[in-house]
Amino acid sequence: MLIETFIKKRFTMTLNSFTLRAYKIPRWRKRKFFKNNILFCGDALGTVMPVSFEGIYYSMKSAQFASEAIIQKDLKLYEKLWNDNFLMQFTLMKKFQDFMFGNDERMDRWLNIHRDPAIQELAMALWLRKENGTKLIPLYLKAFGSFISRIAPFKIK
């Protein structure tokens, strides 16, 4: 298990020193934005970005879009606003996550790539400037293109 390996590498204490606990991170999938007159935002909508697992920004934006739809008295506007702003990013990152995080070894290699300062810079730009995410994701993916063989040593079809 990766968490046990991480603890052994980073801490001098043994695993018996504390109890490991894990909590499920809501994962993004195509979801219902509302049912009847109930609108779902944040974790209820599953607005956690694949790969980065960041969700506070997307939760707040989903609430903003929901409130705009309520004001306009058009609940379908909520889904449209969210899709127009984030669907492409979430879809790309979900596909990327499914490929890169296919097993623990590949995930470990993926994380090690982020030791490169150029990759760290792009990752931070993607995280901090979410409104430009659609433009930044291709740059992020291209920046470590030369490292792909170290992550997934097989040909991509």
80-122 pLDDT tens trace: 999 999 998 888 888 878 877 777 777 777 778 778 787 777 7
Residue 72: Cβ within 10 Å count: 12
Provide block-wise average pLDDT over 10 residues at a time, the chain (157 residues): 71 64 61 87 86 86 96 95 91 82 76 78 70 63 58 49
Residue 100: Cβ within 10 Å count: 19
pLDDT for the residue 152: 54
Alpha helices in 73-147 (DSSP H): 75-82, 88-100, 104-113, 117-128, 133-143
Burial class for 101, CB neighbours closer than 10 Å (0-12, 13-18, 19+): middle
Q: CB of 66 within 8 A of CB of 82? A: no
Q: Rounded to whole angstroms, how far apart are CA atoms 140 and 118?
A: 9
Residue 38's DSSP bridge partners are 35
In sequence order, the 6+-apart residues with CB closer than 8 A to the CB of 64 are none
pLDDT for the residue 155: 47
Model's pTM, two decimal places? 0.62
pLDDT for the residue 67: 96
pLDDT for the residue 156: 45
Say which DSSP state 86 is in.
Answer: I
Q: CB of 91 within 8 A of CB of 133? A: no
pLDDT for the residue 116: 78
